[in-house]
Amino acid sequence: MTMSCDDAGTSVIRRFEVFTGAGKRRDWPPEVKVSTVAESYSSQETISAVARRHGICPSQLFTWRGELRKELETRGVPLPVSSARRPSSFPQ
């Protein structure tokens, strides 16, 4: 099937694709988010390595960490401070 384009009338569409499905957007269960965030706080790997292993972008993992931190602060849960994550330029 060919259709003429509206712009110049000289081009012809030879093929077009219809994409169906969810695409790249995924819905993660809360249990998966929490376990991934917990894993990202271990000092054994970088956040990027954890995100890559779970098939997400590091920015997504940082977002999940921020959401969890806000939720814990709202509930009044004290947050642990890891000395391993503190930059070395700060006085101890």
pLDDT digits 0-9 by tens, 9-58? 566 777 777 766 656 678 899 999 999 999 998 878 899 999 999 999 99
Angle between helices 47-54 and 58-75 (to 10 degrees): 110
Q: State the CB neighbour count (10 A cutoff) for residue 40.
A: 20
Q: Which amino acid is at 40?
A: S
- The answer to whether the pTM exceeds 0.85 is no
Q: What is the pLDDT of residue 1?
A: 53
Q: Is 4 helix (H, G, I), strand (E, B) or coil?
A: strand
Q: What is the pLDDT of residue 24?
A: 67
